[in-house]
């Protein structure tokens, strides 16, 4: 009996931790004027992995997410410090063009925000301005590929000229995801992508997020802990600007180390 090989310990996806580091963040600080919004955050975000940021409102999770593609540059009073390395390169370096960076690090927002243009143009816009294609045929192909990745192709292929704003909320959000992947990003940031969607549309977007994991590093901010548990492999818990705990999602939801994490995910006052 003793000779028998012991079964390996159960885990959701033990191979995740072997994935390469996509984003290396260290000693990160964000100030909004006097307000110290992000304090000493250190985290390594993995490639081909969905990482969920959870925490109560105002804990800094969205602020930190926005640091990853320099969205905070657009806020005058915001000051960002620390190391943010994408594939080993500092994204706050003077030589980095934030527009190019945002093509590489795409973003999807809480409220679906398609451009007031046709479905086709919504997706084609990014590749056009970044000059990713040489011909109309190539662009058509890219648009189809992006819409397929956004899991919305079958629903819109017959009405590509219809306005994107005419779609349902869930379709609009998937269109926005298709738009984000059209520029061939490496990282997708999602700031509460499902909070304006009904449960079915949410499930479709979650299924899509899981598919996107094959090609991208996905970082999602969510208020729904169940959603974090469902879609992510790694979870980071933020509280009052601190990154309290960062671990495998399975561990965070069954056996968190920090009492603050426990209080938050079990619905107690944190």
Partner 1 sequence: MAYEPHITSAYDRDLEEIQTTIMKMGGLVETAIMSAADSLESRDEELALHVREGDAVIDRLEEQVNEACARTIALRQPAAGDLRTILTVMKISTNLERIGDYAKNMAKRTSVLVQMNPIEDSAGSIRRMAKQVEIMLTDALDAYIQRDPELAEDVRQRDMDVDQMYNSLFRNFLTHMMEDPRNITACMHLHFIAKNIERMGDHVTSIAEQVIYLVSGEMPGDNRPKRDMTPFEKTETRL
Binding site for partner 1 (CB under 8 A): 225-226, 229, 252-256, 261-263, 265-269
Measured from the CB atom, is 56 or 169 closer to partner 1?
Answer: 56
Measured from the CB atom, is 173 or 261 closer to partner 1?
Answer: 261
Measured from the CB atom, is 157 or 268 closer to partner 1?
Answer: 268
Could you give the CA distance from residue 188 to residue 169 in angstroms, rounded to a whole number? 20
Could you give the CA distance from residue 92 to residue 257 in angstroms, rounded to a whole number? 33
Could you give the CA distance from residue 22 to residue 48 in angstroms, rounded to a whole number? 9
Measured from the CB atom, is 200 or 269 closer to partner 1?
Answer: 269
Helical axes 169-182 vs 119-129, angle rounded to 10°: 20
- Which whole-number Å values give the CA distances from 112 to 7, 235, 241, in the listed order? 45, 24, 27
Residues 6+ positions from 101 with CB-CB distance below 8 Å: 69, 70, 86, 91
Measured from the CB atom, is 111 or 268 closer to partner 1?
Answer: 268
Could you give the CA distance from residue 220 to residue 50 in angstroms, rounded to a whole number? 7
Q: Min. distance of Cβ 6 from partner 1 in angstroms? A: 11
Two tokens at 56?
Answer: 């109560």
Q: Min. distance of Cβ 241 from partner 1 in angstroms? A: 22
């Amino acid at each position: 009996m003793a000779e028998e090989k012991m079964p390996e310990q159960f885990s959701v996806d033990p191979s995740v931790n072997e994935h390469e580091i996509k984003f290396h963040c260290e000693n990160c600080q964000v100030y909004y004027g006097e307000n110290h919004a992000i304090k000493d955050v250190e985290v390594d975000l993995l490639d081909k992995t969905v990482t969920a940021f959870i925490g109560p409102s105002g804990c800094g999770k969205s602020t930190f997410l926005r640091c990853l593609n320099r969205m905070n540059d657009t806020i005058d009073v915001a000051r960002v410090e620390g190391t943010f390395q994408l594939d080993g390169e500092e994204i706050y370096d003077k030589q980095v063009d934030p527009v190019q960076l945002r093509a590489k690090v795409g973003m999807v927002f809480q409220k679906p925000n398609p451009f007031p243009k046709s479905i086709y143009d919504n997706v084609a816009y990014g590749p056009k301005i970044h000059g990713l294609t040489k011909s109309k045929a190539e662009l058509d192909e890219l648009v189809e590929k992006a819409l397929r990745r956004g899991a919305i192709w079958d629903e819109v292929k017959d009405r590509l000229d219809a306005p994107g704003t005419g779609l349902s909320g869930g379709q609009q959000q998937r269109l926005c995801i298709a738009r984000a992947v059209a520029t061939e990003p490496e990282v997708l940031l999602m700031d509460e992508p499902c909070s304006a969607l009904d449960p079915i549309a949410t499930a479709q977007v979650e299924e899509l997020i899981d598919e996107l994991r094959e090609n991208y590093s996905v970082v999602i901010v969510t208020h729904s802990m169940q959603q974090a548990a469902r879609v992510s492999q790694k979870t980071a818990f933020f509280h009052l600007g601190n990154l309290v705990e960062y671990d495998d999602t399975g561990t965070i939801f069954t056996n968190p180390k920090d009492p603050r994490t426990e209080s938050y995910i079990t619905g107690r006052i944190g």
